[in-house]
């Protein structure tokens, strides 16, 4: 099927046209099905979400906004984009008089870049959570020797940090540095931070500096939609998001912006928001060309799915499962950063085990468990992260429940113990570790044995979006 109900003929199928690519996709499908997916930013979209992605919508150019396009033939494309916008506002309970949304950003990073471009312009000042502390690259990451993210090249970025003692955002320090840096945008958004954000406090700090508060809810937009964690919309001026993480949609990005009165001055004059035009024009013609209409349609489908009781139940289970992981790790003597989680992810600090994230991640990958190495509060170098980040959204989409997640943690601990075993019997460098891991026959046999059990376990669970092997 191709999103319009038409069936392909045998000769048209990818399998016949490009067997090489077909084979690679089939292998990837098999990898996803047999492995345990714990990367906190990933999820499995439904069949209904995947369908528009391979539809005729791929073929159409529609630069501009609905009703004001630079190309003809956009009667239905306009309806698709307007429907996506309407569903986005509805899902988050937003009044169309007070909020607008742009659904054209191609993904989360381009959405953020469009906000900076439209709202503060070149060399505008931006404060986001530092990458090693759980922020995102696109919030302006740089090191002492290199401006890594283009956000730090074209804008001036100044990070705020966690309190290393608690693993929590140091709001007082943020307030203090904001007074010195005079940011024009403060970003409340995370890629690896498991606690609720204090949007009210962020807003107070933003107001004190006459800055816009941008919430980047990329990781948590599904949880926010389901109403199971605090929403950023009450306190923020702008909200960006990806659509493929907890929201479980197609890969894409969205920007929500406030409309109407921003503030009333002491003399009674109303100051209006002018975000709509600035943000829309930054997306197009500023940064992008034709919108990806197949993505926009697939996002619209996901937004519809997210506006159901079943989605709320799903997100409640995502939270339960993350808590189960956290508790199980702690019971087995592991350190969870900040002592637990309020969201879909946890960060396990391996320093007390005498290990680092890179080695453990490698062994886990070998046994069929996907996760990321991540820096922990207080890590000296972003290049040698000492923790592992685990998220529950993807496996919860495969219907794993609390007891299943306990089993998943037990597999992970087997992997960590194997990591210790290998690390203690080889030289100190990562290269020596890898060599031992790849060539030692006894180690290989142990890995194969665990991997076999992981695969047998994973295969029991259904895979959304896949109709065949």
Ligand X SMILES: *Cc1c(COP(=O)(O)O)cnc(C)c1O
By CB under 6 A, name the binding residues for ligand X.
41, 107-109, 112, 136, 138, 189-191, 216, 218-219, 242
Q: What is the 3-state secondary structure (H, E, C) of 295-340?
A: HHHHHHHHHHHHCCHHHHHHHHHHHHHHHHHHHHHHHCCCEEHHHC
Looking at the Cβ atoms of 131 and 226, the one nearer to ligand X is 131
* Rounded Cα–Cα distance for residues 384 and 376 (Å): 10
Contact predicate 233/243, CB 8 Å: no
Contact predicate 375/362, CB 8 Å: no
Q: Which of 84, 136, 192, 294 is catalytic?
A: 192
State the Cα angle at 80 between 75 and 84, rounded to 5°.
150
What's the gap between Cα 309 and its chain centre? 23
Cis peptide before 453 (omega within 30 of 0): no
* Rounded Cα–Cα distance for residues 408 and 325 (Å): 8
Tokens coding 98: 């007070």
Number of H helices, E strands in the chain: 17, 19
* Rounded Cα–Cα distance for residues 70 and 200 (Å): 41
CB of 191 to ligand X, least distance (A): 4
Looking at the Cβ atoms of 64 and 357, the one nearer to ligand X is 357
Contact predicate 92/224, CB 8 Å: yes
Q: Which of 244, 292, 294, 344 is catalytic?
A: 244
Tokens coding 448: 């194969």
For 113, 116, 314, 452, the CA distances from 155, given in Å and listed in that order, are 10, 8, 39, 49
Contact predicate 45/465, CB 8 Å: yes
Looking at the Cβ atoms of 218 and 458, the one nearer to ligand X is 218
Looking at the Cβ atoms of 107 and 407, the one nearer to ligand X is 107
Phi, psi of 113 (to 5 degrees): -60, -35
Q: Which residue is nearest to ligand X (CB)?
A: 108
Longest Cα pair distance anywhere in the chain, in angstroms?
Answer: 79
Active site residue 236: no
Looking at the Cβ atoms of 39 and 48, the one nearer to ligand X is 39
Contact predicate 287/65, CB 8 Å: no
| Secondary structure (3-state) at 246 | coil
* Rounded Cα–Cα distance for residues 325 and 44 (Å): 20
Active site residue 344: no
Q: Which of 86, 61, 80, 82 is nearest to 72 (CA)?
A: 61
Q: Which of 65, 99, 97, 69 is nearest to 82 (CA)?
A: 65
Looking at the Cβ atoms of 74 and 341, the one nearer to ligand X is 341
* Rounded Cα–Cα distance for residues 178 and 313 (Å): 39
Which residues make beta-bridge pairs with 189? 216
Tokens coding 281: 């024009």
CB of 137 to ligand X, least distance (A): 8
CB of 140 to ligand X, least distance (A): 11
* Rounded Cα–Cα distance for residues 211 and 223 (Å): 26
- Provide the annotated active-site residues: 192, 244
């Amino acid at each position: 099927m191709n999103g319009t109900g038409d069936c392909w003929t045998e000769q048209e199928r990818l399998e016949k046209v490009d067997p090489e690519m077909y084979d690679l996709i089939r292998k990837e499908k098999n990898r996803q099905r047999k492995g345990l997916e714990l990367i906190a930013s990933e999820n499995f979209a439904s069949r209904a979400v995947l369908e528009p992605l391979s539809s005729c919508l791929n073929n159409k150019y529609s630069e501009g906004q609905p009703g004001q396009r630079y190309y003809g033939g956009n009667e239905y494309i306009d309806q698709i984009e307007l429907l996506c916008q309407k569903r986005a506002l509805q899902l988050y309970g937003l009044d169309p008089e007070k909020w607008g949304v742009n659904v054209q950003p191609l993904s989360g990073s381009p959405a953020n870049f469009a906000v900076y471009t439209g709202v503060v312009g070149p060399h505008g000042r931006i404060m986001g959570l530092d990458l090693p502390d759980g922020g995102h690259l696109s919030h302006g990451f740089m090191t002492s020797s290199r401006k890594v993210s283009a956000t730090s090249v074209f804008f001036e970025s100044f990070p705020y940090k966690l309190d290393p003692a608690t693993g929590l955002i140091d709001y007082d320090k943020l307030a203090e540095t904001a007074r010195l840096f005079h940011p024009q945008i403060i970003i409340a958004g995370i890629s690896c931070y498991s606690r609720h954000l204090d949007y009210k406090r962020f807003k107070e700090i933003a107001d004190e500096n006459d800055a816009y508060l941008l919430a980047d809810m990329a990781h948590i937009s599904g949880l926010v939609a389901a109403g199971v964690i605090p929403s950023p919309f009450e306190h923020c001026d702008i909200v960006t998001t990806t659509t493929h993480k907890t929201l479980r949609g197609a890969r894409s990005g969205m920007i929500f912006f406030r409309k109407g009165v921003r503030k009333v001055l002491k003399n009674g004059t109303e100051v209006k928001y002018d975000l709509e035009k600035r943000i829309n024009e930054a997306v197009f013609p500023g940064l992008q060309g034709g919108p990806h209409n197949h993505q926009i349609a697939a996002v619209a489908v996901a937004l519809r799915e997210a506006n159901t009781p079943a989605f709320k139940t799903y997100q409640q289970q995502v939270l339960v499962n993350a808590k189960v992981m956290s508790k199980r790790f702690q019971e087995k003597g592991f350190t969870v950063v900040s002592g637990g989680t309020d969201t879909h992810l946890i960060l396990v600090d391996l320093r007390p085990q005498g290990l680092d994230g890179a080695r453990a991640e490698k062994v886990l990958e070998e046994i069929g468990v996907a996760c990321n190495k991540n820096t922990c509060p207080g890590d000296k170098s972003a290049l040698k992260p000492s923790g592992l980040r685990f998220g529950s959204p993807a496996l919860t989409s495969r219907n794993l429940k609390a007891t299943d997640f306990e089993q998943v943690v037990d597999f992970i601990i087997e992997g960590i113990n194997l990591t210790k075993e290998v690390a203690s019997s080889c030289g100190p460098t990562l290269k020596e570790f890898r060599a031992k891991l790849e060539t030692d026959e006894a180690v290989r046999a142990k890995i194969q044995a665990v991997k076999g059990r992981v695969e047998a376990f994973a295969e029991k669970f259904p895979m959304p979006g896949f109709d065949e092997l």
